[in-house]
Amino acid sequence: MLHKIFTLLTIVASATSENYNVDCSWPIHSKNLTCGNLLGDRQAVHEEYMEGCRQKWGSKGALRCDSNEEDRLEMSRRQPQSMVNYTETGFKKIKAPEKLWSLLKNYWDANKNDKHKEEWGIGNVYTNNWAAPTYMVSVEDKGLRGGGRFMKNRIWEAARPTIEEWTGMKLQATSLYGIRVYTEGAILAPHVDRLPLVSSCIINIAQDVEEDWILEVYDRNDRAVNVTMEPGDMVLYESGSLVHGRPFPLKGNFYANVFIHFEPTGEHLHDSEWDTQDDFFPPYIVPDSPEIKNWARRNPSGWKKQAPSAAGLSRPKGHVAAANGDLQDIGRLAREDKHLLHKKDENGWQPIHEAARAGNLDVVKLLVEKHGADINSVTNFGDGSSVYNVAVQAFSPDHPVAMYLSSKGAVNIGPEL
């Protein structure tokens, strides 16, 4: 099955046709590599990598390099055996959905010349940033065209349905910074992501390379699978349990990816059943596993109190009813508390924005004509999109919702890409 989904490259570095496991291309469970010269002298490559970190940060920083490396190895040993597996393989390569790809490609084209150098911190060993700096085109930066909180949420919302369908779980957003640009010679040490980065995707936005820059992932049997990516490719992966990295240096000018991360809420996507969970630990950690004590130490207040509110998952009742097209529920809420039909969520969205995004014409009409919703209200507390713009972005100017709003004199306000 894997051979049908992925490009499995077994000819790596030294042109061998043999497969390999962990601790062969890079230290993953142990610093002592086990493959001899199967892929060349990888022990020497790793030592050179670590020495680069030590030289970058001097005598005091060198201690951080080594302690961070121990932490990376410990996570790679501890987390995979402690995580709930939501898919059979742990990863899958597809084409990014058209709406998501268009959103990201347009943003890249508009802002790719405004990237800034990333600062990785003292002793960070996840990339060889001291030799091959990375750059970020932030989606949070309001100074960039279309950037800001609204853009961040648009990307999360465009990616979430695909990953939810793949994992079978409802998800809430956890992390999204922007488009990271790697440069010539870059190495990304194989690792598992620190929780709560659990259900994730990588999308290649652009590249200028001499040869494919291999994404190395490890299947459920700790066997290396090497995946190639082109612009528009999307790799879904269970990032908290799947060891992944790019241990062979980038040959070329640059490679631009975006990483979009979620965590399971515990609710199943199709039957609305919930995984058994207590009031403290997240549902994606196996009870009594090695990760339990570590997680409790890092999260003394427990998961439910700290779980980030996710766009689309922590919405007020009026927003949920509008998105679902539930006219009866909207009527009930109007009788109970009419303010719920005009309430703004944490992103400045009102129920009418949710109805427009879902294409629910009857709900839009009801909110406008009976409950006085403002057709020109703007999300993100005045710095986002108008109701009409939401409808056009989600569908087209010819959609019935957009045409209705236009007939009412609605304005088109939204980020310019």
Chain center to CA of 155: 9
Binned at pLDDT 50, 70 and 90, residue 8 comes out as very low
For residue 240, the model assigns a pLDDT of 97
pLDDT for residue 313 is more than 60: no
What pLDDT digit, counting tens, does each position of 35-50 carry? 999 999 999 999 999 9
Closest CA to 42 of 21, 65, 22, 24: 24
Quick one: how far is CA 225 from the chain centroid? 21
Whether 246 contacts 45, CB under 8 Å: no
Strands 252-268 and 178-183: antiparallel
pLDDT score, position 277: 64
Cβ atoms 10, 19 nearer than 8 A: yes
Contact status, residue 357 vs residue 323, Cβ threshold 8 Å: yes
pLDDT digits (tens, 9 = 90+) for 193-243: 999 999 999 999 999 999 999 999 999 999 999 999 999 999 999 999 999
- pTM of the shown model: 0.72
Per-domain boundaries in the chain: 2-304, 317-407
Within 13 Å, how many C-alpha atoms sit on residue 25's CB side?
Answer: 32
Look at residue 228 in the predicted model and tell me its pLDDT: 97
For residue 417, the model assigns a pLDDT of 31
Burial class, 120, CB count within 10 angstroms (exposed 0-12 / middle 13-18 / buried 19+): middle
Helix axes 387-394, 351-358, angle to 10 degrees: 20
pLDDT digits (tens, 9 = 90+) for 75-92: 999 999 999 999 999 999
Cis peptide before 196 (omega within 30 of 0): yes
Average pLDDT over residues 368-375: 94
Predicted pLDDT of residue 26: 97
Render pLDDT for 245-296 as a digit per residue (tens, 0 to 9).
999 999 999 999 999 999 999 999 988 788 876 678 999 999 999 999 999 8
Average pLDDT over residues 326-353: 88
Cα–Cα distance measured from residue 218 to residue 136, given in angstroms and rounded to the nearest whole number: 27
pLDDT band (50, 70, 90) for residue 301: confident
pLDDT at 380: 67
Tell me the sheet residues that pair with 395: none
CATH code that applies to domain 317-407: 1.25.40.20
Assign domain 2-304 one CATH number from 2.60.120.620, 2.60.120.10, 3.40.640.10, 1.10.150.20. 2.60.120.620
Q: What is the pLDDT of residue 11?
A: 32
2-304 and 317-407 agree in CATH topology = no
pLDDT tens sequence across 171-195:
999 999 999 999 999 999 999 999 9
